[in-house]
Amino acid sequence: MRALLRALPWLYLALLYAFIFLPVVVLVLFSFQDGRLPVPPFQGPTLRWYGEVLSDSRLMAALGNSFLVALGSSALSVLLGFLAACGLARYRLPGSALLRGVLIAPMTVSYLIIALGLLSTLNAAGLPLSLWSVGAGHVVINLPLCFAIIYASMGGHQVSMERAARDLGAPEWKVMWLVTAPMLMPALLAAFFLSVTFSWDEFIIAFLLSRFDVTLPVEIWSLLRSGLSPRTNAIGSLVFLVSVALLLVLEATVFRKAGRR
Amino acid sequence: MTAPVSVRGVSRFYGEAAALADVSLEIAAGEFIVLLGPSGCGKTTLLSILGGFVSPSAGQVFIGGRDMDGLPPAKRPTTTMFQDYALFPHMSLIDNVGFGLRMRGQPRRARDARAMECLEMVGLATSAKRRPHELSGGQRQRVALARALAVDPDVLLLDEPLGALDLGLRRQMQEELKAIQKRVGTTFIHVTHDQEEAMAIADRIVVMNAGKVEDFATPAEIYLRPRSLFSAGFMGECNFLSARVEGPAGQGALALSGPAGPLTLPEAAFIGPAPAPGTRVTLCIRPEHLGPGPGGIPLGQGRIERLAFLGAHTRAVVSGATGPLIVALPQNSTAREGDSIALRAAPEALVALPAAGD
Amino acid sequence: MSGRIEQRERRRAWGLVLPALGWTGLFFLLPFAVMVVTSFARREGREIVLAWSLQNYVDFVEKSFLLRGLVVSLEITALVVVISVLLAYPLAWIIAERVPARWQRTALILAVLPFWTSYVVRSYAWVLLLSRNGVVNDTLLSLGLVSEPLEMASTRFATVTGFVHFFVMLLTLTIYANLVQLAPNLRRAAADLGANGWQTFRHVILPLTRPGIMVGAFLTFVLCIGDYITPQILGGNNELVLPQVIMLQLGRRADFPMAAALSLVLMAVVTLVYIAVARWMKMERT
């Protein structure tokens, strides 16, 4: 009885891990399915579906688009968030609480609503949908995040270093570029990579605001309409692999370093 | 390089409160000036105004004869050594020290050479490639000094740079600061609340309180002939006795009625013109100028309440007719607690100031 | 009052804040205003006419399939929040209390690793598992637990499972963060005063982590009720949640005004819950 009680937590742990990993395991396993359907029984491994995915020009184009949008919108979000954080953390502005509130506000609104609003506005203005509109939408959702992360990491201890740089003759943009930004590097990187992850995986804005050039989640979505296929498993597994690799690199560099300091 | 600094009628208000009220100072080129006062006295505000981080609400600042109005820190011939050193953590020492020259567009070779020269001056040339976090507090402080001096400022502003160091290191750094200042000849303006530090390094001390300048003179003058009660009290232990001016006593002396009976003081003991009869004054007597004699102005008898041997002298708390007095007895004194001693003040070291409230 | 230096600094600060503010204004506040205005418009044929009427909102209350969307959304979200918290709390607690300190980081990273699959792909993986001839049915049949394959795809069960899978990971993270920041001495003090394991948990640990649970639950609520993908892929078209209804207005009927009105209803619900949670948190603190 006591032994059972002691084992209970480990049993629960194992069960939950199984629940959490079940979809991923099935996804990856049946991406190697030598058959037309990704369901049991498993019919021996093949790399055929990976070959098909990698030679599918539409998927690869979508992959490229996703990278472009993710990197571009994240870079812009970090830049805008960094500048705003400098302005609001370093100087006293009238109504700064209100300004912060406005900058954070998009975080509290569902992506669907942000996408709808942008869609109506672009329609009303007669502007065409493109990767640019998707990128603009992704900056809207990532800017609050970047601003919040960077603003929170701007402590008072950097203020005197910025004063020192100014005192030694640095113009304002050089103070930010040579002193503030390098000191905030962990926060800037965290904000950037988090933004990349969100943008990379975002569906509804990309779905509603794009027309001919689409991002990867939208392309995968249209694959789903044709039913279950090991091809979808393969592309899903590839995306997972890339994300996990990115995560491990981050863990080994940025966060480990930040934790040690 | 070096330059004189002229502060003319500078005030700074935060809302209704005045952090600085009508401060004027004339500082000669190459002087080592210490701004001394308790926290909140306005000394750091004054330093920030000189450095260009805060603009004055009224008044003007001239450095080397140039009006500094509206000039940002970068455009002023001043550099500041900050309280927390403010070294750039992501740069090596040589890059830290060379930063100012880099901002002035100097090529790497030239600025590295100059930075090395400055690091050498503070004895850290061998650590040039290290990062600030690898250094001890004293070493960081030296790097901050080297960095501020590398751009060859006319005036160096030091914002309590020794505050974070322990006592022994602080004394040693005081010596070094003084020596380096002599060598480079730059005007140093140094903020501290430590009276001993001020006396150890300053050519002249500015004693500040509540946004005003209380005194501005050499350490010896301020100690021996303070111009205000605050200044007298802040510069070290001091006994204050109240007295009343009775009238002239001939030979350039004045008769007073003191707490222990009548006494006569030379006119030179009064700061400013000799006061009219009937004026209340406060006599300031340093503990080492008070003792059993022989000679001096008699201040009655007292009983030794407590004794403490402090090395250079023995500090005695004596209760007299005027309440407790602090007396510095010589090292070899044989007095014991409970003894009764005569109290006499050395006339040449006695200062009479207008009584508080006048 | 403030001198030239301060004035210059203020101008500079505005210069720094303005780009971000401009972006938020142009691509968030303006679209939001456009949407509010649109919600008072009417679709007439293929034209959208600004009528300043409340008809869309009246329709929402009167047409049962629209109101039904909100009800379904609330039901599913409530289920998801409760189940996710109940599953995630023990997991976070075991990782924080039973797993040795040096393995905790690894255990945590493992627990949230599937987070990094694409959101769309994750829902698809659950379709694989729950489909008529999928892994779950296959296992149940071969174990003899059922004689007929269960119909799990395109049901509320599938939607809730997909959501719970995602939010268990999220909540484990937030609750774990909350648990490890409790001072270890609290536990020692409780034990010292004679509390057993359960009493310590019930009277010390649980009350102290309640705010963290609340924040995590609110996050779950917001993300869950606004999501279109999981219900669409896993729930199918048998019963529609509000976001699906909104997308339906857009797609099949091109009824922008109605979509806008429904979106604002969705936002109003989230705001109401936010106010309730904020008030609860304030009460908890005092």
Written as tens digits, the pLDDT of chain A (261 aa) is 777 778 888 999 999 999 999 988 888 888 887 777 777 777 778 788 888 888 888 888 998 999 999 999 999 999 999 999 998 888 877 888 899 989 988 888 888 999 999 998 998 888 888 899 999 999 999 999 999 989 888 877 788 888 889 888 888 888 889 999 998 888 898 889 889 888 988 999 999 998 888 899 999 888 888 778 888 888 888 888 888 887 777 777 666 555 444
Pairing mode, strands B239-250 and B280-285: antiparallel
Q: Report the pLDDT value the prediction gives residue B357, as an integer from 0 to 100.
A: 58
Q: Is residue C195 part of a domain?
A: yes
Q: Is residue C11 part of a domain?
A: no
pLDDT digits (tens, 9 = 90+) for C234-266: 888 888 899 999 988 887 767 888 889 999 999
Q: Residue C232 is part of which domain span? A: 63-285
Q: Is residue C154 part of a domain?
A: yes
Written as tens digits, the pLDDT of chain B (358 aa) is 899 999 999 999 988 888 999 999 999 999 999 999 998 899 999 999 999 888 899 999 999 999 998 888 888 999 999 888 888 888 899 999 999 898 888 899 999 999 999 999 988 999 999 999 899 888 998 999 999 999 999 999 999 888 878 888 888 889 999 999 999 999 999 999 999 999 999 999 999 999 999 999 999 999 999 989 999 999 888 888 888 888 887 777 888 887 777 888 888 888 877 788 888 888 888 988 888 877 778 888 888 888 888 888 889 898 877 778 888 888 888 888 888 888 888 877 888 888 865 4
pLDDT digits (tens, 9 = 90+) for C154-194: 889 999 999 999 999 989 988 888 888 877 777 777 777 76
Pairing mode, strands B204-209 and B187-192: unpaired
Which residue blocks in C143-255 are alpha helix, DSSP H? Answer: 156-180, 184-192, 197-200, 206-225, 229-230, 242-251
Which run of H or of E encompasses A96?
helix A96-104
Six-digit token string for B357 = 């409230």
Whole-prediction pTM value?
0.80
Residue B64 neighbours by CB under 8 Å, 6+ apart: B3, B4, B29, B77, B154
Chain A residue with the nearest C-alpha to that of C131: A39
Would an 8 Å CB–CB cutoff place B86 in contact with chain A? yes
Nearest to A91 among C13, C128, C138 (CB): C13
Interface probe with B: pick from A167, A176, A179, most Cβ of B within 10 Å = A167
Contacts across the B-C interface (CB distance below 8 Å): 20
Chain A residue with the nearest C-alpha to that of C14: A87
CB of B290 closer than 8 Å to CB of B327 = yes
Which run of H or of E encompasses B80?
strand B78-81
User: What is d(CA B341, CA C5) in angstroms, rounded to the nearest whole number?
Assistant: 61
Six-digit token string for B191 = 């903020």
Nearest to C118 among A83, A103, A201 (CB): A201
What is the Cα C187 distance to its own chain's centre?
Answer: 32
User: What is d(CA A159, CA C42) in angstroms, rounded to the nearest whole number?
Assistant: 54
Chain C residue with the nearest C-alpha to that of A216: C118
Chain B residue with the nearest C-alpha to that of A166: B74
Cis peptide before A41 (omega within 30 of 0): yes
Nearest to B86 among A160, A169, A185 (CB): A160
Kindly determine whether residue C246 and residue A83, on different chains, have CB atoms separated by under 8 Å.
no
CB of B204 closer than 8 Å to CB of B218 = yes
- The CATH number covering residue C267 comes to 1.10.3720.10
CB of B23 closer than 8 Å to CB of B46 = yes
Q: Is residue C148 part of a domain?
A: yes
Exposure of C58 by Cβ count < 10 A (0-12 exposed, 13-18 middle, 19+ buried)?
exposed
Chain A residues with CB under 8 Å of B75 CB are: 169
A residues 203..242 contacting C (CB < 8 A):
203-204, 208, 216-217, 220-221, 224, 228, 232-233, 235-236, 239-240
- Domains belonging to chain A, first-starting first, are 41-260 (1.10.3720.10)
Q: Is residue C25 part of a domain?
A: no
Kindly determine whether residue C5 and residue B56, on different chains, have CB atoms separated by under 8 Å.
no
Q: Is residue C8 part of a domain?
A: no
* Beta bridge partners of residue B323, listed in sequence order: B320
Kindly determine whether residue A161 and residue B100, on different chains, have CB atoms separated by under 8 Å.
no
Number of CB atoms found within 10 A of residue C22's CB: 11
Number of helices followed by number of strands (H, E) in chain A: 14, 0
Nearest to C28 among A27, A93, A114 (CB): A114
pLDDT digits (tens, 9 = 90+) for B165-191: 888 888 888 999 999 999 999 999 999
Closest to B119 in 3D by CA, of B100, B95, B103, B137: B95
Domain count, chain C: 1
Exposure of B210 by Cβ count < 10 A (0-12 exposed, 13-18 middle, 19+ buried)?
middle
Residues of C with CB under 8 A from a CB of B: 1-6, 8
Chain C residue with the nearest C-alpha to that of B72: C5
- Residue A45 carries which DSSP code? B
- Residue C28 carries which DSSP code? I
* Beta bridge partners of residue B261, listed in sequence order: B258
In terms of pLDDT, which residue wins out, B174 or C66? B174
Q: Is residue C98 part of a domain?
A: yes
Q: How many residues does chain C have?
A: 286
Taking phi over 0 as left and psi of -120 to 50 as alpha, with beta for the rest, B107 belongs to beta
- Residue A105 carries which DSSP code? G
- Burial pattern A40-76, b for ≥16 Cβ within 10 A else e, equals beeeeeeeebbeebeebeebeebbebbbebbbbbbeb
Chain C residues with CB under 8 Å of A114 CB are: 28, 31
Q: Report the pLDDT value the prediction gives residue A259, as an integer from 0 to 100.
A: 47
Q: Is residue C31 part of a domain?
A: no
Interface probe with A: pick from C29, C117, C269, C277, most Cβ of A within 10 Å = C117
User: What is d(CA C266, CA A108) in angstroms, rounded to the nearest whole number?
Assistant: 12
Residue A130 neighbours by CB under 8 Å, 6+ apart: A210, A211, A212, A213
Q: A: neighbours with 3+ CB pairs under 8 Å?
A: B, C
Residue B66 neighbours by CB under 8 Å, 6+ apart: B77
Chain C residues with CB under 8 Å of B59 CB are: none
Number of CB atoms found within 10 A of residue B234's CB: 23
Q: Quote the minimal CA–CA distance from B273 to chain A in Å.
A: 45
